Structure 1
Amino acid sequence: MEFGQFNVNALMEITQRPEIVFVRGQGSWLEDHAGKRYLDFIQGWAVNTLGHCPPEIIAALDKQARTLINPSPAFYNQPMVELAERLTSASCFDRVFFANSGAEANEGAIKLARKWGQVNKNGAFKIITFDHSFHGRTLTTMSASGKPGWSTIFAPQVEGFPKADLNDIASVEALVDDQTVAIMLEPVQGEGGVIPATQEFMQGLRQLADKHKLLLIVDEVQTGMGRTGSLFAYQQFGITPDIMTLAKGIGGGAPLAALLARQDVCVFKHGDQGGTYNGNPLMTAVGIAVFDAVTAPGFLEGVNARGKQLSDGLLQLSEKYGMKGERGMGLLRALKLGTDHGPAIVEAARDQNPEGLLLNAPRPNLLRFMPALNVSAEDMDSMLKQLDVLVERICK
């Protein structure tokens, strides 16, 4: 396939992509090979915490690239240490292992839980996860996920991941047996349709885990680093997890992830866990820049203000067009369309002229919104107005 000056045939075909090659980005905007601009409310699937090409990340990359790029994970480096200190100081966790992707962080969490089960629970290895959950694309994290149809793509699955129903504590307790070592969930099921866990359910999971001596693992790959209006989503539920994973927003666009755990859970022996790029100073320097921006005075207040603006606007659209409402936390939200027009709206929004709008429909009957956390009120208002026109044209 060729368009413009680009021949994309050398790329492996893994997904259906539109005939667009993005060449630059700034803030909430992208520009393609033809010079068309797009207001981006996907931001790399909740990755670009500070938008496209933020000055904080540019400065961090430039400074670190001139200082030290990769000394080997067999040695400490300054950005690795400083970012770990920031994360533990701002959370209930004591130790950090840095990785490159959410799937890798979640794989590490699963390994740590199983090792803890070997040490403390007679080899218990099962981890209860949830229908419609998403934990990554390695064989193990696909097995842990509850995404429909994934059980047969690369069969046989990795065993040991019984599935419960989100917000149904009885369904979780029914799966607990003497081989159960942990419960693992997303505080908000992102790929599953932006479905938040309830506070009652999260607190019930903590109590259930304590009762049966289980670990509670929160997958905050999509919800962490301010996305839900607090630095970490678990902080809004009044619980203390045992393990947490981060990715996406922690790197603001750079490939960075983290596995965090409380001290008494850290049972890895030397050689149990590793990775060529873990704690790479170039990436952890970016992580420091993102962390410092998100924790700066007033930043999270801005996230919550824009989250309310988005929620209010979606509710108004829902009422106007007889939809099913909206849901989510902070700046991770979904509009429940009530019909399967999601893909059509996404395509029409992208293709409109003179400027496009980038939206996401993880399910045909809803739209998901994941803007930059520093999105402006003006850009939010523009998106809502454009969406109003699109819905009226497509869903009537």
Structure 2
Amino acid sequence: MIHRCVLFLILLLPICAQSQQDSTKVSQDSIKKAEFIKYLGNGFLPTKYFDFDLRYLIKYNQFEALRTGLGGITNKQFSEKIRLSGYWVYGFKDDKDKYSISGGFRVDPKRNTWINLTYTDDLQETGSSKFLTDKRFFTFFEPRLLNIDLFHRHITKSISLEHQISSNLLSETKVSYSKINPTYNYNFKPSNESFNTYDLSLATISLQWSPFSNYEFQDDVLVETKEGYPKFTLQYIKSVKDIFNSNFNFSKLDLRTIYQVNHKNDSKSNITLTAGFANGDAPLTHLYHAYPNNIRKETILQRFSVAGLNSFETMLFNEFFSDRFGTLQLKHFFRPFKISEWLKPQLVLISRHALGDMANKERHLGITFNTLDQLYSESGFEINKLFFGFGLSFAYRYGSYHIPNFEDNIAFKFTFNLTL
């Protein structure tokens, strides 16, 4: 009997070994699949040495119409000390090529310190502002971009330094020189001389502080393992006249605070506070809008489009510009309603408010706009993820900037939220 058991075990060993190999292979395949989906969710199509950037494949806006191209960045298999990136795109309506080339080298792995050199010839939305330290954000569909028509072209040369001061404090510093050419009828007249194109030499420092988040090193990269709130971002920009023929002196200070409360019933509340202040001879291209996302059409259905993630849905494009402003956005995400395994819509209540002003409005010639010297308010709701990431949004404009015609205060749109 013992001999039979031993013989049975000997015969079973190859089968167990094969089973173990199959199990290991399945596990490895699952890991590779998960990594691939993670890359894809971040907007990259990975190859051996180079990751294609999906942000540049296809977009649409009112100035370029269809915008398409290719872009990407080298990965760790290429080098852990050097990275090369770039993109090329073409706009069919304006019949122009745009591109960017960038190279960086890492000088301190533990602090994730990189020095980057970049050359860019592209468009930028007038009045938009972005924090250097913001994480890369990718979405398969950018709703605001569809209706933007106010762009300025810039040719920018820059050198920047990324540095992790501590596990909770990230910094980036950049020095740049730009040639600015608005694509619309605009002249800036800070004194006796009027400018329709101009040069700017900018120094920028950006800090992002996440005091309640937890971080740890994974493969020599500092990774946020627990997201904590509030989070604070501060950015200062200084334009210096006469350096590399720069035309204007001005400064900008931008702040943002994000606070989120996760409730026990899988719901959450989010508060986002932003503020910006520009002082000196700043042209309209480098001032502020409040992220409007409404087009100038007569009826609600004609204005039907796609809602943004953090935009004012009832505010018309190019309606307001400010040299000092603040916004408050309040959102409450209810627990998703589980109707079925594939249908789990989520109700979100939203309230947005903006306040701003502008000194020397008469300096900005050729374009008509208002200022936010009174409180702008809108409130509404979203029902997200009704069908393949699509949902519905409703917002109503009220308060000081309420429009006499009732229908003009209403924004009814699609929403799109899809994560991999």
Answer yes or no: same fold by TM over 0.5.
Answer: no
Bigger Rg, which one: 2
Name the TM-score, length of structure 1 as normaliser: 0.23
User: Where is the strand percentage greater, Structure 1 or Structure 2?
Assistant: 2
Give the structure, 1 or 2, with the largest relative contact order (CA under 8 Å, sep 6 or more): 1
